[in-house]
């Protein structure tokens, strides 16, 4: 078994069936596995992605940590569907508008949030002298990042509902 597989299995064991969140210190985990912290970064960035049903947040500094949150199944399926099937590597303005509208209809975001999302994706926001294909690639990347922010927002709300404290994270 490769080291990456071992690290992944270890982290997943921390996320037991009844537990959706775990916090770990990257350097301590690297010491435990006798590897460089970059190996831990690799595992986190390739195996704990929204496509795999996870959201990662971190806090840097002396008391820094990495928080891994397993997205509830229905949310993960919805995000994976949007990230892979509806958006893909590029998306045109019309499809982006439809997705923003659909997210508001389903209550994933408010109508105002959907309008703000679309305003960052529309023709006026993308009025730069580059080919339309590059604009569509950029639009897809922006929309995917917005959906990740929505997932993180849902995770924070869940944590607050469970009595957790809201933490400040700089933009």
- Per residue in 6-54, pLDDT tens? 999 999 888 876 677 888 888 899 999 999 988 998 999 888 876 566 7
- Domain spans in the chain, listed from the N-terminal domain onward: 3-70, 73-161
What is the model's pTM?
0.55
Mean pLDDT of the chain: 81
**Rounded to whole angstroms, how far apart are CA atoms 33 and 138?**
38
Average pLDDT of the segment spanning 133-160:
85
> The domain 3-70: what is its CATH number?
3.30.56.130
CA 113, 116, 118: angle at the middle one, nearest 5?
A: 110
**Is the pLDDT confidence value at 88 over 60?**
yes
Q: What is the pLDDT of residue 138?
A: 95
When pLDDT is averaged across residues 136-162 and rounded to a whole number, the result is 83
Residue with tokens 């099937």: 85
């Amino acid at each position: 078994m490769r080291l990456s597989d071992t690290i992944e299995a270890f982290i997943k064991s921390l996320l037991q069936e009844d537990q959706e969140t775990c916090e770990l210190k990257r350097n301590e985990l690297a010491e435990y596995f006798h590897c460089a912290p970059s190996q831990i970064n690799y595992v986190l960035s390739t195996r704990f992605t929204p496509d795999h049903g996870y959201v990662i947040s971190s806090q840097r500094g002396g008391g820094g940590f990495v928080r891994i949150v397993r997205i509830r199944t229905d949310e993960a399926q919805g995000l994976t569907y949007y990230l892979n099937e509806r958006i893909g590597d590029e998306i045109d303005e019309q499809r982006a508008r439809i997705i923003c509208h659909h997210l508001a209809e389903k209550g994933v975001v408010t109508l105002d949030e959907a309008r703000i999302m679309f305003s960052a994706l529309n023709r006026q926001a993308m009025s730069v002298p580059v080919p339309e294909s590059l604009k569509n690639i950029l639009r897809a990347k922006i929309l995917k990042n917005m959906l990740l922010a929505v997932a993180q927002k849902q995770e924070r709300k869940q944590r607050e509902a469970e009595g957790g404290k809201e933490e400040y994270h700089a933009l």
